[in-house]
Amino acid sequence: EAGVAQSPRYKIIEKRQSVAFWCNPISGHATLYWYQQILGQGPKLLIQFQNNGVVDDSQLPKDRFSAERLKGVDSTLKIQPAKLEDSAVYLCASSLASGGTGTQYFGPGTRLLVL
Amino acid sequence: AQKITQTQPGMFVQEKEAVTLDCTYDTSDPSYGLFWYKQPSSGEMIFLIYQGSYDQQNATEGRYSLNFQKARKSANLVISASQLGDSAMYFCAMRWAGSYQLTFGKGTKLSVIP
């Protein structure tokens, strides 16, 4: 079974530029998460989708970050304009919508460096 | 609010020895789940083991076991027979009832010495 796919793996941009990340979850996983992991810290949830609806985006900086999940499968996370403090690893994860342990499975992440 | 504490920023262990990584948590919910993830330098978070708050037995998965002490609110990860490939960051995380969101600790960097 294929895991969570993310692209690109690495991205370097200058501040005030825009950037977008893509995620394809595990087949059949209705719930999708985007996390931001700053160096030396644990991941912090940015947004959670169930199918194509937003469950929680309370920690998403909505003035510059946006995310969508069209058709309840793939998702994109966008930053516009980027700031230096956005340098981090952006992790996408997916899980079954209900039942079981709710285990989240993560993709390889996108390392973003903002100069 | 839920909180996860990992007090060991770094740990060293000799190859083939066992090591315990500490994790304490704080929640007022009676129903919750505890997870351990491994993050190698490549960046991917790899799921290792899960313990539910109502599980009577400590969880085990191969060389990984979870020492769950509910009264002390601790969920330590035990890795037996350490291998060089175990060198990585290890994160403890908690999910509370009614939500699939995870709260992560700051992690422990494990280094296995040959």
Whether B72 contacts B81, CB under 8 Å: no
Q: Over the stretch A56-90, which tens digit does the pLDDT of each residue have?
A: 999 999 999 999 998 889 999 999 999 999 999 99
Task: Compute the distance between CA of residue B66 and CA of residue B82 in angstroms, rounded to an integer.
Answer: 15
Asked if A88 has any chain B CB less than 8 Å from its own CB, the reply is no
Whether B112 contacts B47, CB under 8 Å: no
Report chain B residues whose CB lies below 8 A from the CB of A44: 104
Q: Is residue A108 scored above 90 in pLDDT?
A: yes
Task: Compute the distance between CA of residue B73 and CA of residue B55 in angstroms, rounded to an integer.
Answer: 14
Asked if A29 has any chain B CB less than 8 Å from its own CB, the reply is no
Q: Looking at CA atoms only, how far is residue B92 from chain A in angstroms? A: 9
Closest CA relative to residue A7, chosen from A110, A99, A91, A88? A110
> What's the N-to-C CA distance of chain A in angstroms?
37
Nearest CB neighbour to A41, from listed B43, B44, B106:
B106
Task: Average the pLDDT over A96-104 and give the result.
Answer: 77
Q: Report CB contact under 8 Å: A42, B93.
A: yes
Q: Is residue A36 scored above 90 in pLDDT?
A: yes
